[in-house]
Structure formats: structure tokens, C-alpha cells
Structure 1
Amino acid sequence: MPPISRAGTGRRRHGPLTAALCALGLLAGLTGCAHVEPTDRRGTRQAGAPHQAAPVPTGTWAGAGGRVRTAESVLQIVAHPDDDLYFINPETAQSLRSGRPLTTVYLTSGESDGVNAPRRQVPGAAAPARKPGDRGDKAVYAEARQNGIRAAYAEMATGDRATPWKRTVLHTAGGGRAELDTLEGHPHIRLVWDLLHEAGTLTGDRPHSLYGLWKGETSRLGSQLTSAGPVTRGFHVTRGALVDTLVGHLRRFRPTQIRMQDPTPGRLDRGGAYADHQDHFAGARFVQEALARYGDEAARGRVPHFTVATYLGYFNGGLPPVLGRRTAENKLRTLDTYAWTDRAERPCAFAAGCGDLKMVPRRQHHGWSHGIRHTGGDSVSWLRAGADGALWAYGVLDGRIAVRHRPPGAHARWSAPVLLPDKGIDPTLTAVGLPDGRTALLGTRTVTEDGPGGYRREVGWTVQRPGGAGAGSPAGFGPWHSLGTPEPGDLAGLSDISAPAAAVTPDGTVTAVVRTSRHQLAARVRQPDGTWLPWRALGGTGVHGDPAAAVDGGGRLFVFGATARTVLAWTRPAAGGPLSGPSATGLPAVTGPLTVRRDGHDAVRLHMRAPGSGHVLTARIGAAGLGTPGGPVRPARVADLGGAAGYGPVAVTRLPDGRTLLAARAENGDLQTAVVDERQDTAGGAPRAETVAARVRWSRTGFLCAGAPAGVSGPRDGDADLAVAGLDGHLYWARTGGSGTVGWSRA
């Protein structure tokens, strides 16, 4: 098993972490605990880096109507130089190509041991390996990493890595100094270097670090300057000063979307080591504290509303590859530029060097170069419809639940978002209908105001009050009701729970299911009389991401969780009783998140993504086809519906004529849609998957999305409503009409 690189840390290889992840099955599946080469559908290695293209609208679903134009401003905050390239890209490149403002903040200098060289010599590498006794120069290495980042951003934005930058000093709101870089000719593209000292170890005890500062093990964290930067005098920050600094960045750049690293990555089952770099999640927790303050300003209208996206870190490299060949190759090319892999052919004009040579050779990038996974914002159930055609959209703005309402009528307009009062709501929100017609919203909430000792995530819900279905106001929903958490505490699992999946059976029983830091599922049930039972462990091994749940037409509950190798299932009969499982589905490795919907009296239908291509897959699953322990499994027929090599969940809407409207993110970050007839695609004697994919027509919208789309069936024959949030924080909506839409409009 080849060693796996560790982005954003001084020690680029970590054998025990890799071994532990493999033991969990989280570096297995299609990756086989090795890197993945980009291939075409026949498995042939593809050479050469294709050009990156901007999103272009095509096809009938992209619009009748004018081109959608958005006005977003994105702020990315990461711990180390390169965390954005590994874990947020290709979305970084998508924003750069959009022409909209993008600012990336690097909290630490990523100075490591100061030696800018591979850990060991590799045949064919352009840079010599470090020699025993090399002492290094942290300021010089930090400068080299900055040079690599600037080259990578310039190349993504302009095609020319040599495009110059203007480097200036920024006095921060926390009393320190940062470096502000602006790409010449592109004043909307900026890099901010907060120049703080990094931990220098993934899991080691380093009190003088972001995590030490967050926990209170040190009262001040020092700076690490670079050898050629404009900031020439060192400084220290306290815990409060760092939060002030981040709030100052938010006020200065006024983002409509904030991208950050996962604040709750969990621990490994074996040994309890962090599953991500301590700088990654500690930095993200400081961002959460800043957002709690800044969200109050946004909620009062002093600054723009904003959405938040969080991204999986090191775990991403061990899961099945998400990105299609072209997108993965583009991402890998950017990493090559950052790592200065062509050092022998391209001299450098800077004394410190032009990139991070610890990332040489090229194959160390694999795994992370082929993946991107959000750890929040992937719900596809946030749009609800009334029998009269009224619509309600539920999202999260400024850390609060946002309710939007559209009355029935062809010329009705969407209301402005109304924010519910509870704070700290995480991005993923699940909406379910109760038997009495009301809507319940389930999600997770992060509690930060109690300081490090009280930091926690909890599952919770809020329910519409009787008569509040059309109110579209805070009075329409009750207060946030905490359901607690199956995690014993932050120190035990770093508060690592997934967003809840939820389903309601015909008798009114509500079941909420989450993945825990042990990579298993746990459920909490609300009985028809309103009583919530305690959390109950459901088991499973190696489950990752968010679970999915649905009820078939006969009232049977299905719950699914994906591992790196397959999909596991849990069921509960219509007559009630506890969930049983996990059962084998026989499905191959997939990427998600999973989407599951009712499909007839005795089955549900899953939608997911194919590893390595991003194609949309579908399979019909019934209880009779699930395996029992030690028993046979009848694998469901999986149909490949094609798609533009995208990633993320698939919104699924059943049309009145029996066909299905699919909506999902495309490789370029915009929305793609298709109408398919899945009944014939997964029936006995169905055509081959390649044939199905070839005849499905996918169309594009042409604007970048935040989170996942959602759809509902409309009140008229053949109609459906589709909505998605833009990066500008606004809701975008379209209604189908015959063969296409009546045009996208901003709510």
C-alpha cells in the first residue's frame, strides 16, 4: 500500500492513520487503499489536462427565459496553504471562473519543519529529497508555499501562473497584521494570510497551536512570518483577538457564502486519533464562533445574508472517487502547479522557490484530487408544496432557519426569507410532513457560546403550530426542541454526528437517524402520542456521510447508509417495532449522499452517484431483495442515467405522468436536470446501463449553486417545481411547463 500524503501538515506521511482508516474500510472499496488513476469509461488512462470550461446553459430545461445572473461573494477560510486546493476545489476554480469576488483566508503559515523537499527521494522527482540533519528555514518554506498558492490561483483564474500579485499589509480587527494579496487586473480575487504558527503535527499534543488556543492550553498564539512578505514585525493573538480578526474579515469582504473546513471530523475507532488535522477542525471552530457574532449582524440586515458550506478533510482521500475524469485532472493540474512539479523545466524568479516540494511527486495528490464532499448542506427535502399549489422553502441563512413562502397562483411572488430565532443551526435541514398536514424541520445545531468545555452538536427539530402552515412567519413554527445526541461528548468523538435523515410512517411515528463518530447509525423515535424514545444504536460498520430514509407505499420504513464498499439497509415493518439490520443490498460502492423515495407499495428507489464518473445511478430496493446475515442477496438492477460528471445528491421529483424529474450538481458547479422514465430502466429485461445513459438528455442552468436542489410535484398535470439556492444567498425557482421550464427566476 503506497503511503498517502497529508495536506496542510509538515509531516506529509502518516502510516498509522492510513492503516487505521484501511482497517475501518474507509480507505478501501474502489480505491483499494491506493491512489486512483483517472480513466475513461473503458478503463483507459487519459493523458493531458483538458481546458476548464465555464458553465454554459444548454437544452430546454435551462430556460425559456433569460440567463440567470447572480451577485455572489465567496469567502473561504482554511487552516493551511493548500487546504483549499485539496478539499474545496473544484469549487474554488468554479468561483474563480465565474468572475465573482472570491477571497481565501489562510489562518496559519503552514511552516512545518522549514525544509522544502520531499521526505524521501523518489525516482523521477524534480526535487532532491531532504537530507538527514537539514534544519530548514520556516520563513523561507512558508514563502515558498505562498508562491505556490499564488501561482495556482493565477493559473485557475487567468490561465497564466505568472500573473503578478499586489502584496500589502492588512491591520486586523484583532490587533495583529495580515498580508493581503490582490491579483493584478482582477481586484475581486484576493488572498489573506493571517500568518499564525501551525501545530506541526496532525494529532500530537502541541499546546502552542490553534487547538491549544481554542482549548485554553495557551493564552496567546504567535505568528510565523514569511521571508519576503510585507509583514515584517511579529505579533501574538489571544483567543478573543482571533475571533475579532475573523469577524473583521467577514465585515471587510461581506460574503454571501462562507466555505470552511469540517469542525467535527471525529476520531478513528482504533486508538482514538483525530480523523483530520487538528489545525483544520480547531480553525473551523474559531470560524464558527466568528459566524455566531457575524450572523447577528446579517440577521439584522447590516450585512448580506450568507450560507455556509463545510468540507470533508483527510477522510475524503480514502473514500470512492467522486469527480469525473476531466474535473479530477483539472484539480490535479492545479495541485501540480502549487507543488511546482515542473521545477526542472520552469525556473523560479523567487529566492524562496515557487511551490511546496513536499508534495512532489505527482501521485501523492491522488485520492484528494479525485474527491470533494460537503459535510453540510446536502439535503434535497427542503421544498414543500400544498394541495393548492402554495410552496414553502426551508433553508439556513446566517445560522438560522429561513422560511420562504409562495402563495398559489400563476403570478404569485415569493416572500422574503423569515428567520426563526434559534441560532447555530447547521447547513443541512430536512423537512418531513406530519399526518395532520403540518411540516417538521429536523437538523443539527452547534452550541459555541459556552466555550470549549460546552462545545457540542445536537439533533433537534421544530414543528409548525396548528394553523401555521400558511403563515410564513416565526409564529408559524414552535421553538427549537433539542433531541440531544447519541455521542457521549465532544472529547469522545469530536461531536461527529451526521445530519439526520427522517421519515414518518402512516401512524405518525417519526424516526430520526444519524451516523455517529463510530461510523455506525443511531436512531431516535417519536411515538404517535408525541413521546420521544431514547437514542438507540443500530450498528453497521464503516458508514460514512449522511444516512437516508423513506417509507414505501405499504408503510415499511427503509434506512440506508453508505460504506466505502457498498450500501447497508435497515427496515421496520408497517406493523411497527424496532428497526432491524444492517442488511446487505448487494449494491456496489457508490458516492452520495444517497437519495431515497417511495416507489410503489413494497419498495423504495435509491439515487446515488457512480464513483469515478459522477453519473447518476438508480436502483429499486424492496425488503424481499435484502440479504440476511449469512443468507443470499439478490442485487438490485442498477441503471446508469448519465449526467455531466457531477457530484453531490440528486433531487428526485415524481411527475404526474409517472416519469421522474432529476436535478443535480454538474461538474462545473451549476444545476443539471433531466426527465427520465425509470420504470423501464430497472425492470426485468431492461436495456444495458450504457444504453440508458446514452438516451437520457441532461440540460444545464448556467449558474453556480449553494447546497443541493429540491423539487416537488405541482398541482397541474405534468408540472413540477424546482428550486436551488445560489451562491448569492437567494432562492432560484422554476416551474415545468410541457417540455421545459417557464424560466428561472430569483425569489
Structure 2
Amino acid sequence: MNGDWLLRGRDGRLSVYLPSGESVLCRAEQGPGGPWEAAPRTVGGDQKLRPGLAIGQGGDGYAHLVSWRPTKPGEAGLVHSTHFRPRLAALDWTPIGHPDKTGDRTGTPAVAVDAQGRAHVFVRNKGGGVSMVAQKEKGGWDPWRDLKGSDVQEDLAAVTGESGCVELYAAVPGGVLYWRQEKPGAQPALTEALETPVRPGTLRALPTSPEHTTLFYTDDSGDLCAWRPGGKPLALLASAGPGPVSAVRCELDGHDCTLLAQRSSSGRVAFAAYPTEQESAGAWWAESGPGLPVDAGVSLTTDENGRVVAATLSPSSGQLLLTRRKNEPGLALEAWRGL
């Protein structure tokens, strides 16, 4: 999955999205703070989907999901669904086309939602660049747009800044490309190319101030780095494991902090926190919970009371675990429990 899959809806309920074979499932709290539904529900109807789900959430709390579906032998197209409330049924999957009009799957999509609630879908095209399609303000979709770029790797990191403008990061051999909107509704423009030895599959972007979003990625030496466009990347700490981190801004003991989580090489979840945009303050990993399968991912959010919630999901085993920060100083967590 590309994007946060543990979300808090506008009604305060938490929900998780789970790929399952050729479909996507959703499971939600019955009320803020639990308990959870006994069984997950299928999202978007009975259409068969291909691997590679992208999830984004707007300021209105609505979840936007994008995936590939087979259209005919050797070809596929992208589909989109909106989920307004965790306990309600999501809209049926709606076709939104293909970046090259026709063809097979070209890469895992990414989705960000602007301040007006419009989904922006990004995906690599067959030429190795990036294409985008965006919702119109009054319904429907704009035409596909070619945002240029070359040699783009499969993983993309889309994010909406606090300004409401959509931004995109993409890994390329020896670097990262960065696109941003100059104003809401404008076409994102390729504005910066960073030379850095980035490992594909490790990008994660987070809004960290009114002026900036921060990109987290792992470099070839194994360091987890933080970069804000216009500046230089900083090595924050050694990566705990091989995959991307999950990141969330939260208040810890009265301070605006960025919390990172990652499945560590030991198999447990590692957490690290530091004052937001103050990477020079340093950060240290602390592990928590049981050992997890190698394909387990981690996602972070905050509940309606601002408490950090973390979940892990293993697609191969279906194991879903959750923990929540205790109501006490520091980052003490409750015992992990299965859902």
C-alpha cells in the first residue's frame, strides 16, 4: 500500500484498509476509542483489483482510494473510490483511465487530496515520467497531464502541505525529483532535483510547517535522511529496517514532535521522536511489541484526543495489531493487541 492505511475519520472513529486478494477491505471502530467491528467489509463493490493500493485523506476526513483493475488481457486501468465515513459503505470503484490511454499497469499510484477535497492521482507512465489526473471541483475528472521527469522508480510520495497545495516526490537513479503546485488547482511543476543516493521504496512525506513538507528516505549507506526542498538533506539516524517509515506529527509532553515508526531488522516495531523540523536535536530508536512477519508494515495516526495510535499489518498472515499511547508522560504505549 502507498500512503497511510490507519486513518481517523471526521467522526473520530479509526479505520484500517486491508488488501485481500483481488479486493480491499475496511475495518472500523464502532465508536471513538473502540470496540472494533468483528469483521472487515469490502470497499467499492465486487470489482477485481490488481496489487498496488494508494490511499490519501483530505482535511474533511474523507478517504480516497486508488487501485489498478484488469480491463482486458494484458491491459489495466485505474479506479477510484471515496469513503466518507468509516462505518458507511464506500462509493463504488469508478474508472479514471490510464496515463497512456491504454496499456498494462505502469506503477503503484499515489494520491493526495487538496484543501478543496479534490483527489490528485499520480502514477509513473510508460515513458518513465509521471502523469497526473485530478478531480474537478464540481465532479468528474480533468484530463490526464504529463508532468515530465525520467527514469522514475515505482514508488511515489504524494502529500498536501498545510498551504493546501499538493506536492509530489519521486525516486530516480541517484536522486529525488520534486513537484509542487504554486496555488491550489494549478498543475504541479517540477521545481527541484536533489542528487542523493536514495533507496527505492523508502520515500515518505509529511507536512511539517506552513512553509514545508519533509521527505524521509533511506540512502545507500542505510541512514534515514530528512529533506525539505530548498535545503540540504540531513542524516537523522540509521534506518531501523529495510522499508519506508511511517510518520506523524503529534504533541509529546507539550512539544510539537515528529514520530517515526518502522519494522526493524529484529522484527519488532521501532519508534523514534524528535522536535519537528529540528533534526539536529537527534533521535533514537526504541523497539516495542512482538516480532512481526517480514512483510509487516506500520501506520501511525492520532485519535480524537490527540493520542498516538500505531497499527501493524502483515498481508501474508492477515495479522493486524494495534497499540495506543498511554495517558502519561513520554511515549509509553499500551500492550499491543490483535484486532
Aligned match for 1:638, one of 220, 224, 234: 234
* Aligned amino acid, residue 458 of structure 1: G
Partner of 1:213: none
Partner of 1:677: 275
Aligned match for 1:586, one of 168, 175, 194: 194
Q: Does 1:393 align with 2:16?
A: yes
State the SS of the aligned residue for 1:412. coil
Q: Distance in 2 between matches of 1:387 and 1:584?
A: 35
Aligned match for 2:243, one of 637, 648, 658: 648
List aligned pairs for 1:271-420, cutoff 5 A. Answer: 377=1, 379-386=2-9, 389-410=12-33, 412-420=35-43
Q: Distance in 2 between matches of 1:732 and 1:700?
A: 12
* Aligned amino acid, residue 382 of structure 1: W
Change (3 A) 1:484 1:670: farther
Change (3 A) 1:722 1:587: farther
* Aligned amino acid, residue 666 of structure 1: S
List aligned pairs for 1:494-509, cutoff 5 A. Answer: 495-509=104-118
Partner of 1:455: 74
State the SS of the aligned residue for 1:663. strand
Q: What's the CA shift string for 1:641-681, capped at 9, x where partnerless?
A: 2233x212111011124112211132244432222324221
List aligned pairs for 1:144-159, cutoff 5 A. Answer: none
Partner of 1:166: none
Partner of 1:744: 336
Query: Deviation at 1:550?
Result: 1.2
Query: Deviation at 1:461?
Result: 0.8
Query: Does the CA contact (< 8 Å) of 1:396 and 1:426 recur in 2?
Result: no
Q: Distance in 2 between matches of 1:458 and 1:499?
A: 12
Query: Does the CA contact (< 8 Å) of 1:545 and 1:593 recur in 2?
Result: no
State the SS of the aligned residue for 2:53. strand
List aligned pairs for 1:168-567, cutoff 5 A. Answer: 377=1, 379-386=2-9, 389-410=12-33, 412-420=35-43, 421-434=45-58, 436-447=60-71, 450=72, 454-464=73-83, 469-472=85-88, 476-490=89-103, 495-567=104-176
Q: What's the CA shift string for 1:550-596, capped at 9, x where partnerless?
A: 12212222111111111011111224322212x33434121133111
Query: Deviation at 1:544?
Result: 0.6
Q: What's the CA shift string for 1:492-525, capped at 9, x where partnerless?
A: xxx2412211112112332110012321100011
Query: Deviation at 1:436?
Result: 4.7
Partner of 1:243: none
Query: Deviation at 1:608?
Result: 0.9
Partner of 1:233: none
Q: Distance in 1 between matches of 2:98 and 2:206?
A: 26
Query: Deviation at 1:423?
Result: 3.8
Partner of 1:5: none
Query: Does the CA contact (< 8 Å) of 2:262 and 2:298 recur in 1?
Result: yes
Q: Distance in 1 between matches of 2:189 and 2:47?
A: 35
Change (3 A) 1:670 1:457: farther
Change (3 A) 1:410 1:561: closer
Q: Distance in 1 between matches of 2:50 and 2:272?
A: 30
Query: Does the CA contact (< 8 Å) of 1:443 and 1:459 recur in 2?
Result: yes
Q: What's the CA shift string for 1:7-29, capped at 9, x where partnerless?
A: xxxxxxxxxxxxxxxxxxxxxxx
Query: Deviation at 1:398?
Result: 2.3
Change (3 A) 1:480 1:387: closer
Q: Distance in 2 between matches of 1:552 and 1:673?
A: 24
Query: Does the CA contact (< 8 Å) of 1:508 and 1:527 recur in 2?
Result: no
Change (3 A) 1:505 1:489: closer
Q: Distance in 2 between matches of 1:386 and 1:462?
A: 15
Q: Distance in 2 between matches of 1:676 and 1:415?
A: 36
Q: Does 1:712 align with 2:320?
A: no
Q: Distance in 2 between matches of 1:637 and 1:610?
A: 10
Q: Distance in 2 between matches of 1:577 and 1:438?
A: 22
Gaps of 5+ in 2: none
* Aligned amino acid, residue 540 of structure 1: G
Query: Deviation at 1:699?
Result: 1.2
Partner of 2:264: 666
Q: Distance in 1 between matches of 2:207 and 2:59?
A: 16
Query: Deviation at 1:488?
Result: 4.8
Q: What's the CA shift string for 1:356-377, capped at 9, x where partnerless?
A: xxxxxxxxxxxxxxxxxxxxx3
Q: Distance in 1 between matches of 2:87 and 2:116?
A: 26
Q: Distance in 1 between matches of 2:54 and 2:296?
A: 13
- How many percent identity over aligned positions? 22
Q: Counting helix residues as a fraction of each chain, which structure ranks higher? A: 1
State the SS of the aligned residue for 2:313. strand
List aligned pairs for 1:5-20, cutoff 5 A. Answer: none
* Aligned amino acid, residue 269 of structure 2: L
Q: Distance in 2 between matches of 1:488 and 1:471?
A: 35
Change (3 A) 1:387 1:556: closer
Change (3 A) 1:387 1:535: closer
| Count of residue pairs brought into register by the alignment | 329
* Aligned amino acid, residue 444 of structure 1: W
Change (3 A) 1:708 1:575: same
Change (3 A) 1:536 1:400: same
Change (3 A) 1:471 1:409: closer
TM-score by length of 1: 0.42
TM-score by length of 2: 0.88
Q: Distance in 2 between matches of 1:638 and 1:435?
A: 29
Partner of 1:348: none
Query: Does the CA contact (< 8 Å) of 1:496 and 1:517 recur in 2?
Result: no
Q: Distance in 1 between matches of 2:294 and 2:47?
A: 24
Aligned match for 1:721, one of 299, 309, 320: 309
Query: Deviation at 1:534?
Result: 1.5
Q: Distance in 1 between matches of 2:27 and 2:184?
A: 36
State the SS of the aligned residue for 2:277. helix
Worse-superposed segment, 398-407 or 548-557: 548-557
Q: Whose RCO is larger (CA < 8 A, sep 6+)?
A: 1
* Aligned amino acid, residue 287 of structure 2: S
Q: What's the CA shift string for 1:578-619, capped at 9, x where partnerless?
A: 2212x3343412113311111211110111112132x32212
* Aligned amino acid, residue 636 of structure 1: K
Q: Distance in 2 between matches of 1:731 and 1:518?
A: 38
Q: What's the CA shift string for 1:375-428, capped at 9, x where partnerless?
A: xx3x24111113554111112112111010113355523431112333432333
* Aligned amino acid, residue 607 of structure 1: F
Query: Deviation at 1:721?
Result: 0.9
Q: Distance in 1 between matches of 2:50 and 2:221?
A: 29
Query: Does the CA contact (< 8 Å) of 1:620 and 1:636 recur in 2?
Result: yes
Query: Does the CA contact (< 8 Å) of 2:179 and 2:192 recur in 1?
Result: no
Query: Does the CA contact (< 8 Å) of 2:4 and 2:299 recur in 1?
Result: yes
Q: Distance in 2 between matches of 1:661 and 1:707?
A: 19
Q: What's the CA shift string for 1:432-480, capped at 9, x where partnerless?
A: 2345543221122234xx4xxx33222111113xxx61425xxx11211
Based on CA coordinates, which of the two structures has the bigger radius of gyration? Answer: 1
State the SS of the aligned residue for 2:278. helix
Change (3 A) 1:435 1:667: closer
